């Protein structure tokens, strides 16, 4: 694929059909459709247990128009790696001739926590597969419990805010950097508000010749407490506040992309963290004056990570 025109993208088969049971306003189906537009080849999909899996494959129905396999929370990457290995063996024997791409979709719980060992192993072994994290920053499928991807200060059912608690005390793990440390060919962060950036990165991931990892911010109306028609604007705000910078790392070389490149170049505004906090009910308690030090700590950490990223990308 050499063009990103809507006309060309429209020729790609619909791989995830409508009729799934994701919540109104959920970003996961949007992200998955954008990622799957990154290749014209056939695609085999595996999916770790989570919101995306249970909502698209409620027996006896499925929203998938691709070969699909459901895996447990912890072994999505291992299952996808197994599919890729079997494909290579059959291709060597001449039993398969067509090009097939392999992708595993998983939430942050199955990526940052439960499935990290399997993911690390698959990346280290060099399987030619893509792993996509649909990052809604909590275990939304099982009741909005905190994960290591949950943003500092967020109130969840296991990191609740109260008279003596300000929500989750720890800052979120930088999983994208963990994957970069595996020295794989392609790693990127994406947001569903910028479809062109997401599709382009998916194209690169599918054609990099080895393992690729895409971390996608996936706003959750139910867990983050915002109106279901604000999903895309919330995703965009994550980028504008530098909570979720858009960038890619190709063979170790960092490049800021889209909105984030414009912010780094001074061509767009970097919005304050208070805009992010005020946009979601999970942070409502942080608007109280007594939690101002927490807000300041969040801003300082976001600024620190943004400055580090700019330096790595030669800004």
CA distance 233 to 132: 21
Q: What digits encode the pLDDT tens for the residues 94-145?
A: 999 999 999 999 999 999 999 999 999 999 999 999 999 999 999 999 999 9
HSE (side-chain half, CA atoms, 13 Å) at 79: 20
Whole-model pTM above 0.75?
A: yes
pLDDT of residue 27: 97
Selecting from 3.40.50.970, 3.30.9.10, 1.10.287.610, 3.90.1150.10, what CATH number does the domain 6-312 have? Answer: 3.40.50.970
For residue 16, give the 3-state DSSP assignment. Answer: strand
> Which is more confident, 240 or 4?
240
Asked if 302 and 273 count as a contact pair (C-beta separation under 8 A), the reply is yes
CA distance 19 to 36: 18
Q: Residue 285: phi, psi to the nearest 5?
A: -65, -25
The enclosing H or E element of 244 equals none
Q: What digits encode the pLDDT tens for the residues 144-165?
A: 999 999 999 999 999 999 999 9
């Amino acid at each position: 694929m050499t063009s990103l025109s809507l006309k060309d993208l429209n020729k790609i088969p619909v791989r995830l059909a409508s009729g799934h049971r994701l919540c109104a306003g959920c970003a996961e189906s949007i992200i998955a459709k954008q990622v799957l537009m990154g290749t014209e080849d056939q695609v085999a999909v595996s999916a770790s247990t989570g919101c995306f899996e249970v909502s698209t494959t409620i027996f006896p129905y499925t929203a998938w128009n691709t070969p699909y396999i459901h895996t447990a929370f912890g072994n999505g990457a291992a299952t996808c790696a197994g599919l890729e290995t079997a494909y290579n063996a059959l291709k060597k024997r001449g039993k398969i001739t067509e090009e097939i791409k392999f992708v595993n979709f998983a939430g942050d719980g199955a990526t940052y926590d439960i499935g990290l060992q399997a993911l690390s192993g698959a990346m280290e072994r060099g399987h030619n597969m893509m792993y996509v994290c649909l990052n809604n920053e909590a275990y939304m499928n099982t009741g909005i419990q905190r994960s290591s991807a949950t943003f500092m200060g967020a109130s969840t059912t296991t990191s609740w805010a109260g008279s003596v608690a300000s929500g989750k005390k720890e800052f979120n793990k930088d999983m994208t950097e963990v994957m970069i440390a595996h020295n794989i060919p392609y790693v990127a962060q994406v947001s569903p508000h910028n479809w062109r950036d997401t599709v382009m990165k998916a194209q690169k991931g599918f054609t990099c010749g080895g393992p690729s990892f895409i971390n996608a911010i996936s706003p959750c109306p139910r867990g983050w407490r915002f109106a279901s028609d604000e999903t895309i604007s919330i995703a965009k705000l994550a980028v504008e506040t530098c909570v979720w910078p858009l960038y890619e790392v190709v063979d170790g070389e960092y490049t800021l992309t889209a909105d984030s490149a414009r912010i780094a170049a001074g061509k767009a505004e970097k919005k304050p963290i208070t805009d992010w906090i005020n946009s979601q009910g999970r942070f409502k308690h942080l608007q109280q004056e007594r939690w101002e030090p927490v807000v300041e700590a969040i801003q300082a950490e976001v600024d620190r990570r943004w400055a580090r990223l700019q330096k790595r990308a030669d800004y």
